[in-house]
Amino acid sequence: MTAVVNDIAISYTDVGVGTPLLCLHGGMGIDGASLRVPGILRLADCGLRVVIPDQRGHGASAAGDPACYSHETWVEDARALLTHLGVARSALLGHSYGGFIALEFALRCPDVLTHLVLVSTSAGPIQVPAAAVGSNEELCEGFRAIWPRYFSGRDKHWALFDALAFSAPAYNAAFTRELLRYDLRARVAGIRTSTLLVVGADDWYRRDIEWLAGRLPNATLCVMDGAGHFPFVEAESQFIDTVAEFLTR
């Protein structure tokens, strides 16, 4: 489906009926295919309405002007998509870089949120690459080189990698501009939304998630054994059960 929000076309998947759950993919530079996997989509079988957009500049969504790519714009797009869908209040899930955007959303639009689910993410600061990438193909090959590190088990889930679309302009905006000023550590204690923190036991963001668990006033922490950066892939059933119970209890 496609919605025109903030004068740009946003492509999204909308499955299930029930409690709304807006899911923000990571990257930046990879699209929502990273979340269109059974470990996320099957949440629709648990009384949830699962909405997964390709964020501005990614996948099937319009590119627009890369100069406008920013955390603020990505937050505004997410908020406008909920309005377009007629959703006054929603749960919000953010994975990896999508968690950065979700945290900013929670600070900017707390009245919109019923719950917050943060998966394999951080409040900052983030170490960023030294240089921009020159093309989508170069970005694809860069991700290909590090892809095995995202998974704890022997299965490196290359079929998921092959489903991804890559966007060098979005990656460059995020990693050479936006992340240079991303640091919410002094502000997260003000997030009162009920929050579920999920991380794989072998993910490099585990320390960041555990730090958030000690700072967010209404947080529940779940560390999933046998999983890396994609716990909804490597610990699919546990992830579904944990998130569904949190959102529907």
Q: Are strands 8-15 and 48-53 parallel, antiparallel or unpaired?
A: antiparallel
Percent of the chain past pLDDT 70, that is, above it, reads 100
CATH number for the domain running over 2-248: 3.40.50.1820
Residue 217: per-residue pLDDT = 95
> Average of pLDDT values for 3-20?
97
> Average of pLDDT values for 23-46?
98
Residue 129: per-residue pLDDT = 81
* CA–CA dist 56, 120 (Å, integer): 22
- Name which of 110, 136, 135 is nearest 216 in CA terms: 110
* CA–CA dist 50, 233 (Å, integer): 17
Q: List the chain domain ranges.
A: 2-248
- Name which of 27, 77, 15 is nearest 51 in CA terms: 15
- Name which of 100, 50, 230, 87 is nearest 158 in CA terms: 230
Residue 147: per-residue pLDDT = 98
- 57, 66 Cβ separation under 8 angstroms: yes
Mutual angle of helices 97-108 and 71-84, in 10-degree steps: 70
Burial degree of 131 (CB within 10 A; 0-12, 13-18, 19+): exposed
> Average of pLDDT values for 168-178?
97
What are the phi and psi torsion angles at 95 (to 5°)? Answer: -110, 130
Residue 109: per-residue pLDDT = 97
**CB contact set of 200 (below 8 Å; sequence gap of 6+):** 120, 152, 206, 223, 224, 226, 227, 228, 229, 230, 231, 234, 235
Structure confidence by residue, pLDDT tens digits, 57-114 = 999 999 999 999 999 999 999 999 999 999 999 999 999 999 999 999 999 999 999 9
- Name which of 7, 38, 19, 170 is nearest 92 in CA terms: 19
Burial degree of 204 (CB within 10 A; 0-12, 13-18, 19+): middle
Structure confidence by residue, pLDDT tens digits, 203-240 = 999 999 999 999 999 999 999 999 999 999 999 999 99
Averaged pLDDT score across all residues of the chain: 97
**Which SS3 state, helix, strand or coil, does residue 202 take?**
coil
Q: Is the pLDDT of residue 130 over 80?
A: no
